[in-house]
Amino acid sequence: MNEIAMVDKNLSVDRTPDMIAIEINSIKEQTRKIVLFNSIEIGRRLAEAKLMLPHGEWGDWLSKSVDYSQRTASNLIRIFEEYGSSQMVLFCDNAKSQALANLSYTQAVALLGIPQDERVAFIHDHDIDNMSTRELQQAIKEKQELEAKVMELEVAWAKDKNLADNAKRIADEKAEEAQKLLEEKQNIESDLRVTDKVLRDTQADVKKLQDALEKERQQSKEEVERLSGQLSDAKANGASDEMVSKLQAELKEARNLVDTLTQELDKPIEVTAADVVEKIPEAVQKELDELRKKVQDKESPQQGSTARVRFSVHFETLVNDFKSLLGTLVEIKETDSEAHDKYKKAVAGLIGKMSERL
């Protein structure tokens, strides 16, 4: 007996407080893992059972079968969903990662406040093994407050950016509108300058026509006086009836010409900017000038007859009507561009035919 006791004494190891502390901490670590492990596995099975039970029977089943409240069951299911692996594991680590497997149940519950995809990084960034539960909760709270502040700043930045974008858009629209107004102003000023020039040219043409008609009337009056004298002399000298009739006819024609010229000169002629809506195209103006020149070249001093005056009147009427025609084309263009092109081609064709007739 003494020998056996001696052997046991020789085989025994001297225990120390440090060794005991290591054993205690090891048991604590194992207990911590077991608690989390069992919580995950209980949550896994609760989730499985919940899917099997008919709607409305979940609460009764918890109370009668496992003595859990719905809140406790919900927490355990969330522990499984947040920390448990997707496979059914009974005899090995059932956590999603080694970092999560080393958590205590209290730490696991606290870390539910951290988004799942950020949880492992948070564990790595914080020495949670040496943190009390309060310190861990405070760290999580500070992170949540910081994230909320960042979110608030992002919302404010987005709002300010939206305001800035709207202000820029409005400024761009105003600038574009101002540019359009400036271009319209420049176009109007340009049109006014062209209109003013055409108006002055037209007024000058009207003055030339009036001067020509007045000169023609004076010549016709002189012709009337001359024919009157010849008629008186013919009657006094006993000229033939044929000669007297001829002189009377010429005198009548001359007086009619004077009356026609007087009527033309008495007509009020006023050309305003409203009448000059479009500048006569350069090619058309050239044709009109050439026509005027041909008339002047073909006429001789002896041809100051009624036909010449009628031609002058008809020619100026043609010029004025052509200007009115151009103005009407402008009005049509503003409402119907297709009709404008059609009528414009018709006018060009007419001018071509008129040129061929000449």
pLDDT, tens only, 211-235: 777 888 888 788 888 878 887 887 7
Using pLDDT thresholds of 50, 70 and 90, give the confidence band for residue 282. low
* Dist. CA 97–CA 123, nearest whole Å: 11
Using pLDDT thresholds of 50, 70 and 90, give the confidence band for residue 48. very high
Residue 330 within a domain: yes
Predicted confidence at residue 299, as pLDDT, reads: 46
Residue 321 CB contacts under 8 Å (≥ 6 apart), including other chains: none
Residue 122 within a domain: yes
Of 81, 103, 128, the residue at which a domain comes to its end is 128
Predicted confidence at residue 225, as pLDDT, reads: 85
Residue 339 within a domain: yes
Residue 60 pLDDT exceeds 90:
yes
Owning domain of residue 62: 16-128
Predicted confidence at residue 73, as pLDDT, reads: 93
Per-residue burial over 7-26, b if 16 or more Cβ lie within 10 Å, else e, is: eeeeeeeeeeeeeeeeeeee
Residue 58 within a domain: yes
Ranking 86-90, 187-191, 278-282, 319-323 by mean pLDDT, the lowest is: 86-90
Using pLDDT thresholds of 50, 70 and 90, give the confidence band for residue 302. very low
Number of domains in the chain: 2
Using pLDDT thresholds of 50, 70 and 90, give the confidence band for residue 88. very low
Ranking 87-101, 116-130, 204-218, 255-269 by mean pLDDT, the lowest is: 87-101
3-state secondary structure of 114: coil
Predicted confidence at residue 95, as pLDDT, reads: 54
Residue 81 CB contacts under 8 Å (≥ 6 apart), including other chains: 43, 47
Of 96, 128, 160, the residue at which a domain comes to its end is 128
Residue 6 within a domain: no
Of 110, 128, 146, the residue at which a domain comes to its end is 128
Residue 261 within a domain: no
pLDDT per position as a tens digit, 118-168 = 888 888 888 887 888 888 889 888 888 888 888 888 888 888 788 878 878
Ranking 61-65, 169-173, 320-324 by mean pLDDT, the lowest is: 320-324
Residue 291 CB contacts under 8 Å (≥ 6 apart), including other chains: 315, 358
Retrieve residue 30's tokens. Answer: 């194992």
Per-residue burial over 249-267, b if 16 or more Cβ lie within 10 Å, else e, is: ebbebbbebbebbeebeee
Residue 84 within a domain: yes
Residue 272 pLDDT exceeds 60:
no
Angle at 130 (CA atoms; ends 127, 136), nearest 5 degrees:
70
- DSSP-derived letter for residue 92 is S
Predicted confidence at residue 47, as pLDDT, reads: 94
Retrieve residue 19's tokens. Answer: 């060794």
Mean pLDDT of 261-290: 61
Average pLDDT, the chain: 76
Residue 69 within a domain: yes
Residue 257 pLDDT exceeds 50:
yes
